[in-house]
A and B are shown apart, each in its own frame.
Chain A
Amino acid sequence: MAQAFTKAMARNIFYGGTAFFFLLFLALTFQTHQVVPERDNHEAINEVVALGKKVWEENDCIGCHTLLGEGAYFAPELGNVYKRFGSTDAIKAFIASRPKDGVPGRRSMPQFNLSDEELTAVAEFLKYVSGINASNWPPSPQG
């Protein structure tokens, strides 16, 4: 019985299992592509939102914040910030008002010196994200 389970069998399970489950993963990915358009708020994507995503990325916002729960955990979740703040103007005002030298003893968002166009764009980007159907996540408006 010592050789009941051989190396060749183990190898076949590896190759067969990997191939099967990778194909299954591709099938699920295909199915995902069918369903996502009903949930992803793509209707809201326009040039302003695209610029907003660029501003979001080129200032490394994800280095402190989470967006739909992914990112760093140093600053609040922003996937629902549009709902929490109530308007794009409130988001713009918050970002624009950050003190250059921070707040003594406390965490503070840096002053990124964004133009009004960039401020509008990043706020519109966050508004677009808030419209994505994230299965009722986050559990509370606090993020």
Chain B
Amino acid sequence: MKYQSQKVAKLYFIAAIGLFVGQILFGLIIGAQYVWGDFLFPEIPFNVARMVHTNLLIVWLLFGFMGAAYYLVPEEAETDLVAPWLATLMFWIFLAAGAATILGYLLVPYSTLAELTKNDLLPTMGREFLEQPTITKLGIVVVALAFLANIGLTILKGRKTVINLVLLMGLTGLAVFFLFAFFNPVNIVWDKYYWWWVVHLWVEGVWELILGSILAFILIKTTGVDREVIEKWLYVIIAMTLITGIVGTGHHYYWIGTPEFWQWWGSIFSAMEPIPFFMMTVFAFNMVNKRRRNHPNKAAVLWALGTAVMAFLGAGVWGFLHTLAPVNYYTHGTQITAAHGHMAFYGAYVMIVLAIISYAMPLLRGREAANSNKSQVLEMWGFWLMTISIVFITLFLTAAGILQVYLQRFSDNPMPFMVVQEKVELFYVLRELTGFVFLAGLIVYIASFFVGSKEPEATVEGEVVATT
């Protein structure tokens, strides 16, 4: 850590991990409700627990992105943050707003929450992932503006690197496209059309710029490969991301009342969306192979390689599986979608946040470069337990989805939804059991922050000779 103001990132990272735990616990609750339909009913109905599960995910990833920005922007710009106090203030505002919103979901019926927060004045609630009361959404805008001003002015003041510019573009895009959350016409076709401008243009658009720039930063730091090489890769990857991903939005416009030309545009462009993810995998492995030095933080390198592989599998491969219109006709809105969602979010966004935390946290806690060997071994156990769990969760949901498609939509005598759900229950049981392994992995991961912290730092066994 070179600049005092980078320290504010620590708060954001701690909050991110705390909320991650909450997300997983609620994931286990809804997973259990798939097996025992009346579990916690009527106290915590499925829709409430799911809302908590998905909203916590989004909020903790946002904490992670902001923490990453507060950490890496000063280091790249070679200057302190212009307003560290603002970053701290916004942290507490965002945390309080987030906690109040989650408590609102859990403590009162959703319709009461809508009434209490005057949803009538500007109705934005009750749409998937955008369930937050309008007042919370306004709060998110305020926090985002303060955050962007802070890092934007820091970048302006200091050295302008490609990593900082790409990160800033990604974060600005995140804030701009969020504004479509306030557009909610009665006409459900337009509601859905522009809802995707938040959801798709986030996760298959601007968030990939954030992912790319954080990954590039970690690779520069841990491999010592020339910045010019890494920045060129970064440009090519994000170019492919937006060239394919923007029109690729069309793969959500097949069956919602939008014109049928989207079946062509959406299929062709989204079929190319795996390309930038594949390039990211090649990029990460290439840079590590060409490393000019061995970094003692092996865990951070593992997360960086892991996110490159898992993002390709989850977002790229599992996305491609059901993105072509004739396939999507059968798979749209089934457990196939859920399978893809789980591995894509984990691979692309959970892992990149855990990667930057893995790289930065030892430095924020006063280490020279890395945690002790003991701590890193534990962290890597956490990595493998969580990653293997998500692979199996995805496989079980995919199996459930294929059966669901066949029984409910494809066979000669389609069966009702609930009949089919009972027939695929085995896979929900397996998914839930795997969820507990994931939780175990998360506990091990968190333990790695406390174990071995008094032991000496890990060192490299010997410098490698540069291969280029």
Contacts and interface: CB of A to CB of B under 8 A. Distances in A.
A132 B258 CA distance: 9
A6 B228 CA distance: 9
Interface string B319-330: 000000000011
Given A28-B265, A56-B126, A103 B258 contact: no
Contacts, number: 229
B338 A62 contact: no
A93 interface: no
Contact of A50 (B33, B42, B128, B186): B186
Interface in B404-421: 408-410, 414-418, 420-421
Interface residues of A, number: 74
Interface stretch (B44-52, B217-225, B288-296, B349-357): B44-52
Contacts of B261: 28, 31
Nearest to A45: B186
Interface in A39-68: 39-42, 45, 49-50, 53-54, 56-64, 66-68
A36 to B, nearest CB: 6
Given A36-B257, A63-B47, A135-B260, A76 B417 contact: yes
A26 B389 CA distance: 40
A139 B405 CA distance: 10
Contacts of B418: 76, 107
B187 A45 contact: yes
Interface in A92-143: 100-108, 110-112, 128-129, 132-135, 137-143
**Interface size grouping (class) on chain B:** 35 or more
Given A14-B238, A66-B333, A35 B259 contact: yes
Nearest to A52: B186
A61 B48 CA distance: 10
B255 A137 contact: yes
Given A14-B242, A18-B242, A59-B110, A140 B51 contact: no
A142 B42 contact: no
A139 B236 contact: no
B178 to A, nearest CB: 17
B417 A106 contact: no
B34 A74 contact: yes
Interface string B95-135: 00000000000000011001100010001011110010000
Nearest to A110: B45
Interface stretch (B136-144, B150-158, B246-254, B373-381): B246-254
A25 B246 contact: yes
A112 B417 CA distance: 22
Given A18-B243, A72-B46, A134 B232 contact: no
A13 B254 CA distance: 29
Contact of B48 (A13, A54, A63, A73): A63
A60 B111 CA distance: 8
Interface string B30-45: 1001101110011001
A29 B114 CA distance: 31
Contacts of B345: none
A107 B38 contact: yes
A102 B42 contact: yes
Contacts of B232: 5-7, 10
A139 B126 CA distance: 26
Contacts of A100: 42
23 contacts: A7-B162, A7-B235, A10-B232, A11-B162, A13-B239, A18-B239, A21-B243, A22-B246, A25-B246, A25-B249, A36-B190, A60-B126, A61-B126, A77-B417, A102-B41, A106-B38, A107-B33, A110-B42, A111-B42, A132-B257, A135-B254, A135-B255, A139-B330
Given A70-B256, A74-B46, 8 more contacts: A32-B262, A36-B257, A40-B187, A41-B257, A74-B47, A77-B333, A132-B256, A140-B408
Top 7 A-B residue pairs of the complex, sorted by shortest distance between their CB atoms: A63-B47, A57-B126, A69-B333, A107-B37, A10-B235, A137-B255, A140-B414
Interface of A: 5-7, 10-11, 13-14, 17-18, 21-22, 24-25, 28-29, 31-32, 35-36, 39-42, 45, 49-50, 53-54, 56-64, 66-77, 100-108, 110-112, 128-129, 132-135, 137-143
